Every structure is written in structure tokens, then in C-alpha cells.
Amino acid sequence: MTCSNPFVVKWVEETAARLKPTNVVWVNGSDEEYRSICDQLVSDGTFTPLNPKKFPNSYWAVSDPSDVARVEDRTFICTRSQDDAGPTNNWADPREMFKTLNSLMEGCMQGRTMYVVPYLMGPDGSPFSRVGFELTDSLYVVANMRIMARIGDTALRNLKDDSNDFVRGVHSIGDLDPEHRYICHFPEQNIIASFNSNYGGNALQGKKCFALRIASTLARRQGWLAEHMLILGITNPKGEKHYVCAAFPSACGKTNLAMLIPPQSYLEQGWKVETVGDDIAWLNFGSDGRLYAINPEAGFFGVAPGTSYKTNPNAMDTIKSNTIFTNTALDLDEMVPWWEGLGEPPKRVRDWMKHDWTPASKTKAAHPNSRFTAPARQCPSIDANWESPGGVPISAIIFGGRRAHTTPLVYQARDWQHGTFVGVTMASETTAAATGKVGELRRDPMAMLPFIGYHAGDYFQHWLDMGKRAGAKMPGVFHVNWFRTDDAGKFLWPGFGDNMRVLEWVLGRVAGKAGAAETPLGFQPRAEDLNLQGATLSAAAVEELLAVKKADWEEELESQEKFFNKIGAKLPKEIWTEHRALRQRLGL
């Protein structure tokens, strides 16, 4: 394969001269090439082939124990002005960071092959798609990128020969020294550099680095949104179809919702739910003033523990072939992946640290953040329009978080400004997807806190400005909480497929047909407004799920103010206005 873009060729040559690889290989994305890559990874011990009858063309891999998740404390936004990065990002001066990286990475690919991976974020031929390049010395990264993005010839077809508009990315495994691990973004130059990691979003640069951190800065400049959101298509019994986006922090049920199977009673009535994307949405205005979303990714990078035929049958069917499992356990008798949540453990288990494991072991067999990398096209619920170049029209945006108390099951924002406030004030109890303590309350606006590529205050203003655009027809905005618990800590809401009952109400509100009561939070369903037929819920549980308790919200408002003060002077005045109005409505 040859690249005829002189800007790309020059940059690749300059990078190779600095990093000094023994070989430079351009990746073309073909099936034959992928088979060869997997064979090499098996040969060098990185991949363990799985049972070809049960998991054809699938592999098991483990990472270095120090390299198992996103490393937010080693992730930097490098802009000329620190104010452009804002208070929620780690900032570094780009000149100083380039010096640091150049010093660390000089000659780092000696004795290694540098793979040139052209990749396309978004559907082939879409005006909303963007091209990036990742230069990497990790064949493991190439294999995962081949699933997660459209790589090779497809990407090059979408880059004009005279275009300098592409994201430049360099990645090296280095020696995996966590003290010198860097995940760096240079939004003013559209550059990504990652070093000393070979895991997930740290190394797969199309994932969070490009699709969110760099893309969010492009979106602000160009008038669109790059968001940490799933995209779901829902068809009602009348054949009317709506698409919704939903934002949840990682490992909070997002993939489960993206692949939701409605209760049997809904299926019998003719309801249908289809998947466009499970993690990231790019939203652009169409000629009709509505927001249209594309899924910039080609695969799913899902959390394995907790995924099962009980919680997510579609995900389980998706990962049956052509999938890479990283940091799960391995059933040595069947040669299939295993993790907590799949039922009884097998007789002989190798854990993610490559040790023999039994239920008596003090550690988990699979790492809590272990992942599967699987092609989206294999998902049984994949939407026929998931690669539509024009995207799909969005009727509603849903925010959500893991809150044991305070936040009710669902409510609707009054308008776009209020909806932006609802997104800004999202909070969730932390999970294993990010390093740090599990269970701490963390403010996570729009589920984007680790992914906003510029000042959070400017990001909130961009959301407000999108709604002020002439002719804009903005989607309805909602907030959900599947995780409310009773006094004993037991979940009140059954979740999973039963979340369809909430989605039905959301679409009913969008269509102007579903009832609601106006409350201090916005518009909430009464018990009679929700379709609870067949749900195993007591009247008391429903009442508790919908309750808004003043004492909880007094604490919540104080927490919001602390977060707003952290954002500082750039927090839009409209957000303070909404906060004060909520306090007044609550009588606090």
C-alpha cells in the first residue's frame, strides 16, 4: 500500500528518523494481514488462541500488572495557555512536554518495527468522519485498532492527497515504566503521543484520545459535539422509530443499555431496540436543524466482569468470534475466557496474572477492568443504519449515573439550558474503569470529565451555544438512575431489560403523549405514567424510586457549588442561574 499524501509521508519519515525503528510497515487493514498479525502475536506469546469451535478467531491476552486502566494522573492536555486546559485537566506546556517526550522516546523503537496505522473515525464516506494515524511499535495495538476503527486503505480513501487535516499520533510501549508513562494531547496541533503503556485507551489512540479529547476541541471550533454517549434506535409497535443518545460513566451499565433486550411483553407488542454505538457519539446538525449522530468507532471495548447471558445476551453473542480478551481469566480445560459473573468457576483457571486460581484465592480471577474488543458488526442488535454516512436523528439525550440515593429513577429537563445544567451536575460513584478509590462520589459532567480536551467551562458554554444556534431543534434531555437502593442497600429498580419501561416514557414525552408531574427537578412520571405491567415492583418501591427528598438535595446542592467553584470564572452564568432556581424550587 502506498500513501500519496505528502504531509503524511513527510511526518512518518521524520518520526521514523527520531524513533529509529528497524522496520517501517504500513498497515492496509486486509483480512490476510490481520491473520498474519494474530499469528505473530501467538508466536511471540502475546496471544493465546481460544477454542476454535467455541470462540473462533479469538484470543486471550494479559497486560503488565501496572498497566490495567486509564491513567488520568498521567494524562495531559498540552496547550500554550494553561487556562485553555482548565481546572479539570492536567496541563503541560507543549514546548516542555515535547522536550520531555523527545528525550524519553529518542530511539525508543530501535530493534522494533514501527507500524503505520491509518484509521478512520466514523463511517466510510461520511462528511462527519475524521482520519487519524497512529505510529506504534505494538502489534497488540494494531490488532485491537483493526477491530475498533476502520484502518488501512479505507482510511486513506477518506483523506484527500492535498489535505493536512488529520490527527498525528505516536505510540510506543517503551519499557512500561509507570513513573514515565505519558498520555499527551496537543489539541492546537492535532497531535497525540502516548508512551510506556500498552493498554486500552492509553494505547488505542482512536478511542478516548482522538474520539473524545481531540475531537471535542475540533467540535467546539466547528460547531458540533463529540460525546461519551451510546446511540440507540427504538421502534414502537406503530413502526415509529426514534434514536436516543445516553451518557453514563464507564462500567455503569452503558453497554448493557446499548444492547438492551426489552421484556417479553414489549417484544410481543412489537417493540424493537437496536444498537448504533455503545460508547461515543459525534453529533452534527442536519439541514433540518436536528442533531444527527454517528458512531465514530467500528468495535466495542467492553468491560467483561458482570457481562453475562443474564445481564447482556447481545454482548455475549457479539463476542463469540473475532474477539480479543484482555485481562480476563482463562478456563484451561475448555480454553475459553472466564470472569466473575459468568456463574460457577471452571475446575482449572488461570487468572489474569497468569497464576493458577481457585475460588479460595484472595484475588479476582479476572481483573475488574478486563475487556473484550469485538467488531460492532457482529452484534445481533446492530442497527441497519449504524454506518449511515449522514448519521441518525436524535430525539432525546439521556444522562445517568450510579447514585444509591438522592436522584430519582427518571426526570425530564425543562428545556435545553436546563438540560445542560442536568448534564453539568451529573455525578456517579466511581468504578474500576478508572484508577482511584471505588465508591467515591465523583462529579462527572456529561460523563466527560476525563475526556474534555479543553476548559470545562468553555465546554459547558459550547453546549449552551449549540441550543442557541439559528434553526436548531434540540432533543429532549432526561436524567435516569437505575442504581437507587433501599435502606438495606438492595437495588430498588430491576434494571437491564426493564429499563425499556423508562425509555418508553422518555419517547412518550418526546412525542408529547406521556403524562408527567412538574417537580422541582423538572418533569417526573407518576406511577401511573410508567408501564409497570409485569414488573416485580411494590407500590412502596415505586414511590421510593420517584421520591425527591429535600435533605438529600440540600447536600447535593452544596456539592454542586463546590464543583462550580472549582470550574471558576468560566462557568457560564446560565448554570449558576439554573442552580439557584433549583434551590428556590426545593425551598432550600
**Helix 550-567 vs helix 573-586: crossing angle, to nearest 10:** 170
pLDDT in tens, 538-584: 999 999 999 999 999 999 999 999 999 999 999 999 999 999 999 99
* Residue type for position 437: K
Inform me whether the pLDDT recorded for 435 exceeds 80: no
pLDDT in tens, 507-522: 999 999 999 999 999 9
Backbone dihedral angles phi then psi of residue 99, each to the nearest 5 degrees: -60, -45
Angle at 400 between CA 545 and CA 478, to 5 degrees: 80
pLDDT in tens, 88-112: 999 999 999 999 999 999 999 999 9
Helices (H), 20-112: 31-43, 82-85, 94-105
Element (H, E) at 49: strand 48-49
Q: Look up residue 49 and give its three cell numbers.
A: 488462541
pLDDT computed for residue 45 by the predictor: 98
User: What is the assigned CATH class of domain 227-299+383-549?
Assistant: alpha beta
Inform me whether the pLDDT recorded for 379 exceeds 70: yes
Q: Using CA atoms, how far apart are residues 5 and 156, in angstroms rounded to an integer?
A: 9
Q: Using CA atoms, how far apart are residues 391 and 123, in angstroms rounded to an integer?
A: 9
Q: Using CA atoms, how far apart are residues 60 and 195, in angstroms rounded to an integer?
A: 23
Q: How confident is the model at residue 27 (pLDDT cuts 50, 70, 90)?
A: very high
Quickly count: other Cβ atoms within 10 Å of residue 353's Cβ.
13
pLDDT computed for residue 463 by the predictor: 98
Q: Using CA atoms, how far apart are residues 87 and 406, in angstroms rounded to an integer?
A: 27
pLDDT computed for residue 2 by the predictor: 79
Q: How confident is the model at residue 536 (pLDDT cuts 50, 70, 90)?
A: confident
pLDDT computed for residue 37 by the predictor: 98
Q: Look up residue 350 and give its three cell numbers.
A: 488461570
pLDDT computed for residue 428 by the predictor: 87
**Residue keyed to cell 458554554:** 461
Q: How confident is the model at residue 252 (pLDDT cuts 50, 70, 90)?
A: confident
**Residue keyed to cell 469451535:** 53
DSSP 428-468: EE--TTBSS-TT-EEE-GGG-TTT-SS-HHHHHHHHHHHHH
Mean pLDDT of 35-49: 98
Domain with CATH 3.90.228.20 in the chain: 227-299+383-549
Q: How confident is the model at residue 1 (pLDDT cuts 50, 70, 90)?
A: low
The pLDDT > 90 percentage for the chain reads: 95
**Residue keyed to cell 427528598:** 549
Q: Using CA atoms, how far apart are residues 546 and 410, in angstroms rounded to an integer?
A: 7
Q: Using CA atoms, how far apart are residues 275 and 144, in angstroms rounded to an integer?
A: 21
Backbone dihedral angles phi then psi of residue 207, each to the nearest 5 degrees: -65, -100
In three state form, how does the secondary structure of 215-250 look?
HHHHHHHHCCEEECCEEEEEECCCCCEEEEEEECCC
Inform me whether the pLDDT recorded for 433 exceeds 60: no
CA atoms within 13 A on the CB side of 160: 5
Strand pairing class (392-400; 241-247): parallel
Are 257 and 499 contacting, i.e. CB atoms less than 8 angstroms apart?
Answer: yes
Mean pLDDT of 361-371: 95
Give residue 216's region: left, alpha or beta (phi > 0; psi -120 to 50).
alpha
pLDDT computed for residue 439 by the predictor: 64
User: Which residues on adjacent β-strands are paired with residue 300?
Assistant: 374
Whether this model's pTM surpasses 0.85: yes
The residues assigned a catalytic role are 252
Burial 506-523 (b: 16+ CB within 10 A, else e): bbbbbeeebebeeebbbb
Quickly count: other Cβ atoms within 10 Å of residue 347's Cβ.
10
End-to-end CA distance of the chain: 66
pLDDT computed for residue 149 by the predictor: 98
Mean pLDDT of 367-394: 97
Domain with CATH 3.40.449.10 in the chain: 6-44+69-223
Q: Using CA atoms, how far apart are residues 463 and 466, in angstroms rounded to an integer?
A: 5
The superfamily CATH assigns to domain 6-44+69-223 is Phosphoenolpyruvate Carboxykinase, domain 1 (3.40.449.10)
Q: Using CA atoms, how far apart are residues 9 and 269, in angstroms rounded to an integer?
A: 56
pLDDT in tens, 292-350: 999 999 999 999 999 999 999 999 999 999 999 999 999 999 999 999 999 999 999 99
Q: Look up residue 172 and give its three cell numbers.
A: 510506543
Q: Using CA atoms, how far apart are residues 540 and 530, in angstroms rounded to an integer?
A: 15
Whats the size of the chain, residue-wise? 588
Q: Using CA atoms, how far apart are residues 100 and 541, in angstroms rounded to an integer?
A: 56
